[in-house]
Amino acid sequence: MSDRQKFIRNFCIVAHIDHGKSTLADRLLEATGTVAKRDLQEQLLDSMDLERERGITIKLTPTRMKYNYQGNDYILNLIDTPGHVDFTYEVSRSLAACEGAILIVDAGQGVEAQTLANVHLALDNNLEILPVINKIDLPSAEPEKVKKEIEDVIGIPAMHAPCISAKEGTNIEAVLEGIIKEFPAPRGKENAPLKCLVFDSYYDNFKGAICLVRVFDGSVKKGDKIKFMQTNNVFEVTEVGYFTPKAKESDVLLTGEVGYIAASIKKVSEARVGDTITNADNPATEALPGYKQVQPVVFSGIFPVDGSKYGELKDALEKLKLNDSALDYQPETSVALGFGFRCGFLGLLHMEIIQERLEREFNLDIITTAPGVSYHVFKTNGEMIEVSNPSNLPEQSFIDHIEEPYVNAHIFTPPEYMGSIMELCTERRGENTDVVYLDEKRVRLDYTIPLSEIIYDFFDSLKSRTRGYASLDYEMADYRPSKLVKLDILLKGEICDALSLIAHQDKAYERGKIMTEKLKEVIPRQMFEVPIQAAIGGKIIARETVKAFRKDVLAKCYGGDVTRKRKLLEKQKEGKKKMRNIGSVEVPSDAFISILKID
């Protein structure tokens, strides 16, 4: 290892949402003089507005800090990580770029589900863990108890963990000292062929896709020919540099360093997270381990409210996709909603973020259909097809059986809510696999549960049943056979494809009933009676009726009334344009959204 490498530390921060990760990051930037206090926006590293609003980090911004410790200048690279379970793979790649991880635990809340999940990810990547107890300024802080909890639950020593208040800036020096003393310097050979891990990428309008990288072996500079080892694509490097946290061009990225590479790469999908960059002329023999193609797990249809905005929606999705390789979309045609897209997401949060960005950044009014998962449908002819759109489910007679995705869910809760949570999980077809008493105040419940059951409002139900005390984490498990049926909604005898969904046989009846009741509330009276029916495989299981309105007339229409009356009717017609026509039935856009909110 070169002397230069000895003074580099690459680390990240892992924490549960709200435990103070972004605040600590801000304090570190400030304490190292990377960013002057006056320039420090609240939570600087979260660059998108949406992230700041939701208090979560989606995109990772690696920042280089300089810190002089006992006479030596150190380079500290902070790689921020997203906190949400939807982005677990990205987190794992970010962790792989580091040698150490600061584990922040709230001095009042203790260890939470996500904390544990992320710590395990860090341990899997052989990272040194530096526990930090945050929020010691709070009256409810019990740092000693939390230290013990870390040792008991996670199994790492925590007696010397710095106790800090990131908010107040208390004891930040101890964290910096810990980073330097506890975390190893990056290993790696300067003379070996280039090996760079892509741990994130984003799209820049001028420079193309930018790869955020950690150099493991060798070095990379402008003009080098580089090769992506998964895709075998070759590019010429146009710029390298690092973040302070603003992008700053440099001559070269050396072994152990963290920075960015621009190489006129057209799409983010050509710069995949987890891929290894090597030198095209002098390639490494083996890629870095751990690459995985990210797969969407939650699907839903997105349609423009105004059918003529299809082109705009397409452009918007293309632009989002440039920067988000996990977003997947394909054109979809719905009888009810017209032209739109079937979109795949990493999870519900990812879906909501995309929806919000479409609405805010692109100013589009969209209709989103009920989120669903991808089913494995085994046909009677032995063929297996993946179905994520209920409309594509083959007829019952062609189906041998269907398998649905399950997840392993971990729920952390105070013991008093156990009964309520178990009830919820059972309702959602969950199977209890383990109950672990962590201490007298905390229990971990492990469940195997269908993914489709937790993508609706499981998290909200969990929070409301436990007054917000429980936390949830899950990872994909496997596919299992399930008794699933397609539930159709018929309006005046016509199937409304946008309202169809795949549901478990035991729940389809109840769901059909609730949906018809809800639709009856939101579909206005029309010129004729509108029967609303729920059907499974042609069999009607529930029915409601929206009665025809009987009176819509203005009595007199003489000379003075003509223009006024015409304008009234024009207004009436304008109102109708906001409706979707299902056959002859006019359905307000709200109807599609309203049924997402029932369970």
Partner 1 sequence: MSLNKFALYVHIPFCVSKCSYCDFCSFVPKNEQVSAYLQALNAEIKAKGEFYKNYQVTSIYIGGGTPSILPKNVIFEILKNIKTNFKISGNSITIEANPNSFTLEKAQEFKEAGCNRISFGLQSHNDEILKILNRKHNFQDLVNAVNYAHKVGINDINVDFMFGVPTQDLEDVKESLNRVTNLDITHISCYGLILEPNTPLYNEVKNKELQLPSDDECVNMYDYAVDFLSKHGFFRYEISNFAKKGYESVHNKNYWARGEYLGLGLASHSFIKGVHWHNTSNFNKYLSTPLNCMENIEPETLKTAKEETIMLALRTEKGLNIQEYNKKFQSDFLKEYKNTISKLSTQNLITIKNDYIKINDFNISNAIIAEFF
Which residues of this protein are in contact with partner 1, per CB under 8 A? 526-528, 549-560, 562-563, 565-566, 568-570, 572-573, 576, 584
- Of all helices (H) and strands (E), which one includes residue 250? strand 247-250
Name which of 250 and 526 has its Cβ closer to partner 1.
526
Cβ distance to partner 1 smaller for residue 68 or 584: 584
CB of 85 closer than 8 Å to CB of 347: yes
Nearest-approach distance from CB 92 to partner 1, in angstroms: 55
Locate 579 and state its tokens: 């409706």
> CB of 367: closest distance to partner 1 in angstroms?
22
Q: Shortest approach of partner 1 to residue 434 CB, angstroms?
A: 59
CB 299, CB 389: distance < 8 Å? yes
Q: How far is the CB of 359 from partner 1 (least distance, A)?
A: 30
To the nearest whole angstrom, how small is the minimum distance from the Cβ of residue 582 to partner 1? 12
Residue 41: count of CB within 10 angstroms of its CB = 11
Kindly tell me which of 550 and 597 has the beta carbon lying closer to partner 1.
550
Contacts of 464 (CB under 8 A, 6+ apart): none
Please, is 547 exposed, middle or buried when counting C-beta atoms within 10 Å of its C-beta (0-12, 13-18, 19+)? Answer: exposed
As given in the structure block, the two tokens for residue 358 are 């479409």
**Residues 6+ away with beta carbon under 8 Å from 55:** 17, 18, 22
Considering the complex, state which of residue 539 and residue 556 has its C-beta at the smaller distance from partner 1. 556
Three-state SS at 593: helix
**Of 36 and 555, CB closest to partner 1:** 555
- CB 583, min distance to partner 1, A: 9
Q: How far is the CB of 559 from partner 1 (least distance, A)?
A: 5
Smallest gap from residue 578 Cβ to partner 1 (A): 14
Sign of CA dihedral 15, 56, 127, 132: negative
Residue whose pair of structure tokens reads 């809510």 in the numeric block = 417
Q: Which is nearer to partner 1, 568 or 598 (CB)?
A: 568
- Give the nearest distance from C-beta 523 to partner 1 in angstroms: 15
Structure tokens at 221: 């500079």
Alpha-carbon distance values, 172 to 38, 147, 178, 285 (Å): 18, 18, 10, 42
CA distances to 324, 347, 479, 515 from 499, rounded to whole Å, are: 28, 21, 25, 9
Judge residue 551's burial from the number of C-beta atoms within 10 Å of its C-beta, 0-12 exposed, 13-18 middle, 19 or more buried.
exposed
For partner 1, the closer CB: 282 or 584: 584
Is the CB of 159 or the CB of 569 nearer to partner 1?
569
Identify which of residues 436 and 569 has a Cβ nearer to partner 1 in the complex: 569
Provide, rounded to whole angstroms, the least separation between the CB of residue 493 and partner 1: 12
Tell me if 161 sits within 8 A of 182, measured CB to CB. no
Smallest gap, in angstroms, from Cβ of residue 579 to partner 1? 12
463 vs 492, which CB is nearer to partner 1? 492
Cα 131 versus chain centre, distance: 26
Q: Which of 19, 21, 18, 28 is nearest to 172 (CA)?
A: 28
With both helix axes pointing from N to C terminus, report the angle between 458-465 and 418-427 in degrees, rounded to the nearest 10.
160
Q: Which is nearer to partner 1, 159 or 548 (CB)?
A: 548
